[in-house]
Amino acid sequence: MKVAVVGCRGFGRVHLNALKELGEEVYVFSREKDYAKECAEEFNASQYFTSFEEVIKSDADVIDLVVSHESHCFMAIRSMSAGKNVMVEKPIAINMNEARSMINASSKYGVKFMVLENHYLDPMVWEIKKNMNKLGRISLINVRNLRLNRPEGWRKHKELMGGGALIDGGIHYIDSLLNLGGEYSEVKASCKKFFSGLEGEDTVTAVFLFKQGMIGNFTYSWSTPSWNLPHFEVYGENGNIMDEGDEVVLKILGEDERRFKIEKVNTVKEEIRLFLDSIRKDKEPPIPLDIAIRDLKCVLDIYTSCGEN
């Protein structure tokens, strides 16, 4: 399988390392010729390109888009129109119209298309989900990720991001929250910019009312130097469950706590492997496009609640 990685810097390098470990043949793209050549040498790429049209005209089977969010729609549809299978980093797009256009194009051109959301494969989340029934009626789900991040490059710019921290790293934790809580009927949120240097928001809090009746608290920030707080907490009438390091801790009232060791998984490598396998075996990709739409809609609902356009 020949995979052309569009975006040699930043997270593109994570993809290239994963593809290298998987033993796939790779091509690389960068508009800077010297860097494209350097990247090709580092990752033993068969070819390097300095224009996107060269990538489109190549014999690549898959185009892997690790680019600014506002570029996702154009690059994905252009790739699909050339008969290329496409995987693109989350979010699928910066608005719902673009997202649906990308999905429609994948059907029109008969190619495989997947949005890479590695948190969808996080074994920690699914172990918590599996044990939630032991808690009885659920009252509260907390999902948080707090850190200090001052990004450089395109991530600083609201127009290229389609927002701020929420639509970038925050959408990972939106995915986890919705995998735990299911559909929601209402969300109220606050968005604020502190000292990350972003044009968009760097801190978001949101309160969800889920259709199953529980409340969800969501907090994501790039302006909060933090110690290791749990990312996930679920509370119910019989006890609670949360993550602690590489373990899931289940505490049932009147019983000794139980701990479940979670095996470390390279979820980026795994999502790429599974997508390529879906092409080879002509089956549905492992992360449904409905999930990408669900997660983006939630992000946009939060922005609407915050008064963002």
pLDDT at 83 over 90: yes
What confidence score (pLDDT) does residue 230 get?
A: 94
| Over residues 283-306, mean pLDDT | 98
What confidence score (pLDDT) does residue 61 get?
A: 99
The owner of tokens 């052309």 is 4
What separation, in Å, do the N-terminal and C-terminal C-alpha atoms of the chain show? 41
Q: How many angstroms separate the CA atoms of 160 and 73, rounded?
A: 12
Q: How many angstroms separate the CA atoms of 85 and 74, rounded?
A: 14
State the chain's mean pLDDT as an integer.
97
β-strands 47-49, 25-29: how paired?
parallel
Q: How many angstroms separate the CA atoms of 274 and 282, rounded?
A: 12
Residues 237-268 have pLDDT tens digits of 999 999 999 999 999 999 999 999 999 999 99
Q: Which of 77, 68, 79 is nearest to 98 (CA)?
A: 77
What 3-state DSSP class applies to 80? helix
All CATH 3.40.50.720 domain ranges in the chain, comma separated: 2-116+271-283
pLDDT band, residue 226 (cuts 50/70/90): confident
List, as one string, the DSSP characters of 8-70: -STHHHHHHHHHHHHT-EEEEE-SSHHHHHHHHHHTT-SEEESSHHHHHHS--SEEEE-S-GG
Residues 148-171 have pLDDT tens digits of 999 999 999 999 999 999 999 999
What confidence score (pLDDT) does residue 2 get?
A: 98
All CATH 3.30.360.10 domain ranges in the chain, comma separated: 119-265
| Over residues 58-87, mean pLDDT | 99
pTM of the model: 0.96
Return the CATH superfamily for domain 119-265.
Dihydrodipicolinate Reductase; domain 2 (3.30.360.10)
What confidence score (pLDDT) does residue 149 get?
A: 94
What confidence score (pLDDT) does residue 227 get?
A: 77
For residues 27, 55, 296 and 272, what is the CA-based torsion angle, rounded to 10 degrees?
-30
- Per the rule left: phi > 0, alpha: psi between -120 and 50, beta: everything else, 26 is beta
| Over residues 2-23, mean pLDDT | 96
For residues 131, 133, 139 and 140, what is the CA-based torsion angle, rounded to 10 degrees?
20
What confidence score (pLDDT) does residue 309 get?
A: 66
Q: How many angstroms separate the CA atoms of 216 and 209, rounded?
A: 6
167 secondary structure, DSSP code: I
Name the fold adopted by 2-116+271-283: Rossmann fold (3.40.50)
What confidence score (pLDDT) does residue 228 get?
A: 82
Residues 105-125 have pLDDT tens digits of 999 999 999 999 999 999 999
